[in-house]
Amino acid sequence: NAGVTQTPKFQVLKTGQSMTLQCAQDMNHEYMSWYRQDPGMGLRLIHYSVGAGITDQGEVPNGYNVSRSTTEDFPLRLLSAAPSQTSVYFCASSPGFRQPQHFGDGTRLSIL
């Protein structure tokens, strides 16, 4: 099993550009989430989904959109990239609530 796969691994954007970070899992997990990790701030929840067609905001949702059309995929869209969105982004999945999270390897995003 591949687990949680994130693409791309690295990306450089210019301010104002848009892009989609991809996340796919092959474990048939219902719960998926996106976190960003910045030095000294730990992991902050951006958006999460409890199943296909259902998404909700986390702690830092501004500037990001998500959708969940299938159980496997949970893409994160940056609408108009800003330097403050430079970060490492992690996607995670779990069978349900109160369950261990499986993290992808992360996407390192730099916005100039």
Partner 1 sequence: QQPVQSPQAVILREGEDAVINCSSSKALYSVHWYRQKHGEAPVFLMILLKGGEQKGHDKISASFNEKKQQSSLYLTASQLSYSGTYFCGTEPFNDYKLSFGAGTTVTVRA
Rule CB under 8 A: which residues touch partner 1? 31, 33, 35, 40-45, 48, 50, 56, 58-59, 90, 97-106
Residue type, 72: E
In a 13 Å sphere around the CA of 40, the CA atoms on its Cβ side amount to 0
At CA 111, angle to CA 53 and CA 84, rounded to 5?
75
Closer residue to partner 1 (CB): 71 or 104 = 104
- Pick the closer one to partner 1 by CB: 16 or 96: 96
**Strand-strand pairing, 64-66 and 54-57:** unpaired
Minimum distance from CB of 37 to partner 1 (Å)? 9
Nearest distance, CB of residue 62 and partner 1, angstroms: 16
**Based on CB atoms, which residue is closest to partner 1, 26 or 105?**
105
Nearest to 94 by CA among 36, 45, 49, 35: 49
Q: Are 38 and 52 in contact (CB under 8 A)?
A: no
User: Which CB sits closer to partner 1, 26 or 56?
Assistant: 56
Give the shortest CB-73-to-partner 1 separation in angstroms: 19
Least gap, CB of 18 to partner 1 (angstroms): 25
